[in-house]
Amino acid sequence: MSADTLATAKPAVELEGITKRFPGVVANHDIRITVRPGTVHAIVGENGAGKSTLMKILYGMQKPDEGTIKVDGAEVSFRTPSDAIGVGIGMVHQHFMLADNLTVLENIVLGAEPKKLGLLDTAAARTRITELAQTHGLRVDPDRLVEDLGVGDRQRVEILKVLYRGARILILDEPTAVLVPQEVEELFQNLRELKSDGLTVIFISHKLDEVLGIADAITVIRRGTTVASVNPADVTARQLAELMVGSELPTPETRESTVTDRVALTVAGVTMEADGHRPAANDATYLDRLRAEGARLLLDDVSFEIHEGEILGIAGVEGNGQSELIEAIMGIRPAHGSVELGGRDISGWSTLKRRESGIGYIPEDRHRQGLLLEASLWENRVLGHQTRSPARRGIWVNRRAARADTQRIVKDYDVRTPSVDTLALALSGGNQQKLIVGREMSGEPKLLIAAHPTRGVDVGAQAAIWDHLREARAAGLAVLLISADLDELIGLSDSLRVIYRGRLVAALDPSDITPERLGGYMTGAIAGTEES
Partner 1 sequence: MPAGLNRALLTVIGAVIAIVLAIAISSVAITAAGASPLAALGAFFDFGSSPRTVANGIATFLNRAVPLFIAGLAVAVGFRMNLFNIGVEGQYRLAAIVAAYVGSTFTAPAPIQIAVIIVVAAAVGGLYALIPAIMKVTRGVNEVIATIMLNYVAINLASYLVRGPFSGQRAEGALNTTTPELPESAMFPNLNFIFDWFGQPEPTRGGGVWGFLIAAVVLGVLVWAVLERTRFGFEIKASGLNGPAAAASGVNPKKMIIAAMVLSGAIAGLISLPELLGDKGAYTSTFTAGLGFLGIAVALLGRNKPVGIAFAALLFAFLDRAQGALQFADVPASVITIIQGMIVLLVVVANEVTNRFALRLEERRAAQQLGRNAPVEVAA
Binding residues (CB under 8 A) for partner 1: these are: 23-27, 29, 47-50, 52-53, 223-224, 330, 332, 350-356, 361, 363, 368-376, 379, 382-384, 386-387, 392, 395-397, 399, 416-419, 421-423, 425-430, 455-458
* Nearer to partner 1 (CB atom), residue 190 or residue 225: 225
Looking at the DSSP bridge assignments, the partners of residue 448 are 360, 479
173 Cβ contact list (under 8 Å, min separation 6): 52, 55, 91, 92, 93, 94, 204
Q: How far is the CB of 106 from partner 1 (least distance, A)?
A: 25
* Nearer to partner 1 (CB atom), residue 142 or residue 370: 370
The answer to whether 263 and 65 have CB atoms below 8 angstroms apart is no
Q: How far is the CB of 27 from partner 1 (least distance, A)?
A: 5
* Nearer to partner 1 (CB atom), residue 261 or residue 374: 374
Phi, psi (5° rounding) for residue 298?
-75, -35
* Nearer to partner 1 (CB atom), residue 61 or residue 397: 397
Residue 401: C-alpha distances to residues 358, 382, 388, 393 (Å): 20, 10, 11, 9
Nearest one of 501, 465, 459, 498 to 482, comparing CA atoms: 498
Integer-rounded Cα Rg, in Å, for the chain is 25
Where are the strands (E) in 363-488, listed by range?
Answer: 392-393, 396-397, 447-451, 478-482
At CA 433, angle to CA 427 and CA 438, rounded to 5? 110
* Nearer to partner 1 (CB atom), residue 139 or residue 367: 367
Q: How far is the CB of 505 from partner 1 (least distance, A)?
A: 27
User: With the CA atoms of 493, 47, 221 and 428 taken in that order, what torsion angle do they form, in degrees rounded to the nearest 10?
Assistant: -90
Q: How far is the CB of 177 from partner 1 (least distance, A)?
A: 17
Q: How far is the CB of 386 from partner 1 (least distance, A)?
A: 5
Q: How far is the CB of 485 from partner 1 (least distance, A)?
A: 14
The answer to whether 360 and 448 have CB atoms below 8 angstroms apart is yes
Q: How far is the CB of 95 from partner 1 (least distance, A)?
A: 16
| 390 preceded by a cis bond (ω within 30 of 0) | yes
How is 369-397 classified by DSSP, letter by letter?
A: II--TTSBHHHHHHTT-TTSTTTEETTEE
* Nearer to partner 1 (CB atom), residue 101 or residue 419: 419
DSSP annotation of 221:
E
Phi, psi (5° rounding) for residue 246?
80, 155
For residue 463, the tally of other CB atoms under 10 A from its CB is: 15
CA distance 287 to 265: 23
Q: How far is the CB of 77 from partner 1 (least distance, A)?
A: 23
* Nearer to partner 1 (CB atom), residue 52 or residue 176: 52
The answer to whether 491 and 252 have CB atoms below 8 angstroms apart is yes
Q: How far is the CB of 31 from partner 1 (least distance, A)?
A: 12
Q: How far is the CB of 489 from partner 1 (least distance, A)?
A: 20
For strand 200-205 and strand 169-173, is the pairing parallel, antiparallel, or unpaired?
A: parallel
CA 117 to chain centre: 47
* Nearer to partner 1 (CB atom), residue 433 or residue 495: 433
How is 137-159 classified by DSSP, letter by letter?
A: T----TTSBGGGS-HHHHHHHHH
* Nearer to partner 1 (CB atom), residue 233 or residue 396: 396
* Nearer to partner 1 (CB atom), residue 378 or residue 466: 378
Q: How far is the CB of 47 from partner 1 (least distance, A)?
A: 8
* Nearer to partner 1 (CB atom), residue 352 or residue 527: 352
CA distance 474 to 308: 9
